[in-house]
């Protein structure tokens, strides 16, 4: 057994450090020094216009190692953001790539900055992405192998492209890519626009900054050298007026939250009008799980990002779909404790929100280039077959762990029941989380939900929201002091309990209104009472039977709700307690249900709901934890 443990630890350690010896970093260079280094090392071709199949030209930067011998493998980064002008981060990424013998290509999505055409979220990945792979493969500098790389929007477009199985698309590294997922398994979030049928506010804020239908453009027919020169002093970036988002996000009706600022109608108005099951979600660039999968991938995800559940579900799907066996056999995931796209911030004395997580050191850049070296250069030893398919940071235990599948094979489902004597309201109520099922009738827990006084979001997984929510492991006691939050807490643990995997919740509920929301949160309570959020979920009650068949509630009836799963890896240490919160809002992270049963997005009318959570012998409510023994 000791020998086996030693082998596993050695394998994990090799996976964490592979490629580090050859890694070069340029993060310490000044912007001026980085540009000088790039000029010395690379042949730089700025703002080259590449035509797509419909004739629309997309602005593209090409960085080639100087004096390179023979065709090169290419790393392709596609983005809606301002990364083609002389930006420090683009310069450093290009330096990293060309120093390792790669061609590096960066392109703006159509309708963004120097690219022509009309903007569309994800930039037509099934056409523009495919056409660009073909263009790269045909260039004299290319060896015909392209790896796609990016985080957030620069990763999300890769997913639908992977279903196309382009012959040049040899490998991909999508980081924090959940907003590119339409439906996968139990998750039908339509690009994270929804969770459980509840709109997420982050995209309202994000679209205000990104969607500019009245944007400035360069004249047609400019000489490429002139365009490249213009990029030195004019990046065509719009600077919009600042917005007081904590106040603006409360605006009703919700579908006028941007037009109230004077914005012209654009993408927001189109998307906010769709239900979760609207067929129009299938017409854009989102990936759906009936599309197949054709590319080996190294996934980077985070416990405190906007979309950890769908990301892990898609990782599993890509391994199982088997439309291209080599691709399915070569899916790897890294899941860290960071927030959105902060994969370079791992290190000693890492803190998430209010929680110290110890040494989180992990060389993400080394893993990126090790994976590309294997697939684009044919260097099998760079990313050996012994690399675990899943590497994840376990919070509480504060260590990186490895598994061959998600959840880990030895995870067992353990059920904890929501129990009380009818007064689980707030941290000071009598709610308890018990491994023992109720054996008799128990009084329901009741609380009042007023949409005009919603429960505040504090921490958890989120991003890109203009400062409305700070993601991370923040203390929940301010929320738990409210009487409209039901709090269920276990007894202190006597031994460590590792919870790693998907977490399912079943609630039996009733209400006096036709529709309301039920929000759930999993919390780790330290001996001093600090309550660290681990994960959360929410479900709009009208969608309890599926998004395709919404149904209103009737007063007096009890309904069973099963929100989409949460996901985490956390060890509850001795003396710690497991806690579950239940309420009906988590705002501003999630848009409020106005409780009328009408269209929440176009209405200003609200109603106060009297909601109940039932937990008797005939209608138990519970949470199921994946426990790794």
Q: Which of 219-228, 375-384, 400-409, 554-563 is least confident?
A: 219-228
**Residue among 128, 289, 305, 373 flagged as catalytic:** 305
* pLDDT at site 160: 95
pLDDT confidence tier of residue 25, bands split at 50, 70 and 90: low
* pLDDT at site 117: 92
What's phi and psi for 192, nearest 5 deg?
Answer: 65, 15
- Give pLDDT tens digits for 68-89: 888 999 999 999 999 888 777 8
* pLDDT at site 16: 40
Question: Is 131 annotated as catalytic?
Answer: no
What's phi and psi for 35, nearest 5 deg?
Answer: -65, -40
* pLDDT at site 6: 36
* pLDDT at site 254: 98
* pLDDT at site 126: 86
* pLDDT at site 22: 39
pLDDT confidence tier of residue 169, bands split at 50, 70 and 90: very high
pLDDT confidence tier of residue 21, bands split at 50, 70 and 90: very low
* pLDDT at site 386: 95
- Give pLDDT tens digits for 278-298: 999 999 899 999 999 999 999
Q: Which residues contact 536 (CB under 8 A, 6 or more apart)?
A: 460, 461, 519, 520, 521, 522, 566, 586
CA dist 302 to 379, 389, 535, 611, Å? 28, 16, 11, 33
Query: Directed axis angle between helix 130-138 and helix 153-164, to 10°?
Result: 80
CA dist 206 to 289, 351, 599, 602, Å? 26, 26, 23, 20
- Give pLDDT tens digits for 115-163: 999 999 888 878 999 999 999 999 999 999 999 999 999 999 999 999 9
Look at residue 511 and tell me whether its pLDDT is greater than 60: yes
Q: What is the pTM of this model?
A: 0.93
- Give pLDDT tens digits for 409-468: 999 999 999 999 999 999 999 999 999 999 999 999 999 999 999 999 999 999 999 899
CB 46 within 8 A of CB 228: yes
List domains and CATH numbers for the chain: 2-188+277-403 (3.40.50.1820), 411-628 (2.60.120.260)
Question: Is 536 annotated as catalytic?
Answer: no
**Residue among 340, 576, 614, 615 flagged as catalytic:** 340
- Give pLDDT tens digits for 331-346: 999 999 999 999 988 9
Q: Which of 444, 429, 492 is nearest to 621 (CA)?
A: 444
**Residue among 85, 99, 142, 152 flagged as catalytic:** 152
- Give pLDDT tens digits for 377-400: 999 999 999 999 999 999 999 999
pLDDT confidence tier of residue 4, bands split at 50, 70 and 90: very low
Q: Which of 138, 123, 35 is nearest to 78 (CA)?
A: 123
DSSP string, 149-188: EEETHHHHHHHHHHHH--TTEEEEEEES-GGGEEEBTTB-
Residue with tokens 């998004």: 547
Helix intervals (H) in 284-433:
308-320, 325-329, 364-377
More confident residue, 214 or 194: 194
Q: State the Cα–Cα distance between residues 12 and 594, nearest whole angstrom.
A: 49
How would you label 359-380 residue by residue, b for 16+ Cβ within 10 Å and e otherwise? ebebbbbbbbbbbbbbbbbeee
Q: What percent of the chain has pLDDT over 90?
A: 84
Q: Which two tokens stand for residue 328?
A: 């399915």
Q: State the Cα–Cα distance between residues 123 and 285, nearest whole angstrom.
A: 7
* pLDDT at site 24: 52
Look at residue 15 and tell me whether its pLDDT is greater than 70: no
pLDDT confidence tier of residue 2, bands split at 50, 70 and 90: very low
* pLDDT at site 322: 86
Look at residue 10 and tell me whether its pLDDT is greater than 60: no
Question: Is 152 annotated as catalytic?
Answer: yes
């Amino acid at each position: 057994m000791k020998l086996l443990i030693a082998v596993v630890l050695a394998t994990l350690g090799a996976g964490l450090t592979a490629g580090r010896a050859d890694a070069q970093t340029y993060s310490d260079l000044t912007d001026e020094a980085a540009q000088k280094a790039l000029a010395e090392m690379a042949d730089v071709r700025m703002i080259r216009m590449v035509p797509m199949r419909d004739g629309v030209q997309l602005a593209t930067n090409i960085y080639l190692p100087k004096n390179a011998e023979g065709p090169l493998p290419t790393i392709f980064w596609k983005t809606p953001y301002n990364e083609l002008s002389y930006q420090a981060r683009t310069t450093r990424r290009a330096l990293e790539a060309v120093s390792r013998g790669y061609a590096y290509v960066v392109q703006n999505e159509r309708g963004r900055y120097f690219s022509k055409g009309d903007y569309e979220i994800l930039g037509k990945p099934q056409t523009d992405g495919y056409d660009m792979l073909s263009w790269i493969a045909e260039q004299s500098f290319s060896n015909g192998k392209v790896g796609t790389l990016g985080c957030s929007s620069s990763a999300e477009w890769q997913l639908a492209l992977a279903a196309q199985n382009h012959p040049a698309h040899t490998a991909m590294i999508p980081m924090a890519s959940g907003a590119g997922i339409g439906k996968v398994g139990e998750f039908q979030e339509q690009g994270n626009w929804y969770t459980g049928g509840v709109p997420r506010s982050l995209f309202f804020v994000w679209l205000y900054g990104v969607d500019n239908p009245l944007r400035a453009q360069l004249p047609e027919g400019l000489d490429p050298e002139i365009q490249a020169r213009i990029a030195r002093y004019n990046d065509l970036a719009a600077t919009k007026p600042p917005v007081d988002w904590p106040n603006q996000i409360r605006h009703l009706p919700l579908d006028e939250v941007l037009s109230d600022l004077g914005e012209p109608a654009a993408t927001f108005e189109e998307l906010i009008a769709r239900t979760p099951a609207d067929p129009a979600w299938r017409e854009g660039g989102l990936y759906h799980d009936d599309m197949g999968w054709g590319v080996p991938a190294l996934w980077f995800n985070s416990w405190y990002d906007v979309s950890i559940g769908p990301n892990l579900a898609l990782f599993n799907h890509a391994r199982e779909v088997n439309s291209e066996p080599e691709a399915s056999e070569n899916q790897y995931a890294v899941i860290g404790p960071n927030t959105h796209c902060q994969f370079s911030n791992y290190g000693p004395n890492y803190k998430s929100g209010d929680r110290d997580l110890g040494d989180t050191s992990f060389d993400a850049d080394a893993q990126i280039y090790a994976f590309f070296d294997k697939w684009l250069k044919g260097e099998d030893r760079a990313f050996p077959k012994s690399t675990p398919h899943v590497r994840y940071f376990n919070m509480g235990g504060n260590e990186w762990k490895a598994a061959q599948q998600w959840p880990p094979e030895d995870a067992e489902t353990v059920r904890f029941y929501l129990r009380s004597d009818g007064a689980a309201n707030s941290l000071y109520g009598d709610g308890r989380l018990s491994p023992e099922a109720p054996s008799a009738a128990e009084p329901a827990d009741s609380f009042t939900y007023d949409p005009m006084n919603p429960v505040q979001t504090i921490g958890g997984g989120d991003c890109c929201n203009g400062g409305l929510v700070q993601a991370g492991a923040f203390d929940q006691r301010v929320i738990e002091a409210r009487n409209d939050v039901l709090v269920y807490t276990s007894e202190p643990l006597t031994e460590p309990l590792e919870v790693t995997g998907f977490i399912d919740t079943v609630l039996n509920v009733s209400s006096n209104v036709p529709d309301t929301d039920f929000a759930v949160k999993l919390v780790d309570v330290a001996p001093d009472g600090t309550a660290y959020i681990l994960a959360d979920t929410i479900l709009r009650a009208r969608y309890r039977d599926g998004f395709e068949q919404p149904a209103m509630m009737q007063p007096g009836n009890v309904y069973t709700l099963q929100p989409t799963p949460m996901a985490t890896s956390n060890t509850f240490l001795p003396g710690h307690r497991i806690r579950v919160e239940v309420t009906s809002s988590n705002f501003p992270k999630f848009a409020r249900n106005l409780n009328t049963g009408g269209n929440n997005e176009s209405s200003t009318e609200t109603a106060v709901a009297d909601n109940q959570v039932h937990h008797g012998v005939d209608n138990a409510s519970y949470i199921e934890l994946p426990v790794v023994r």
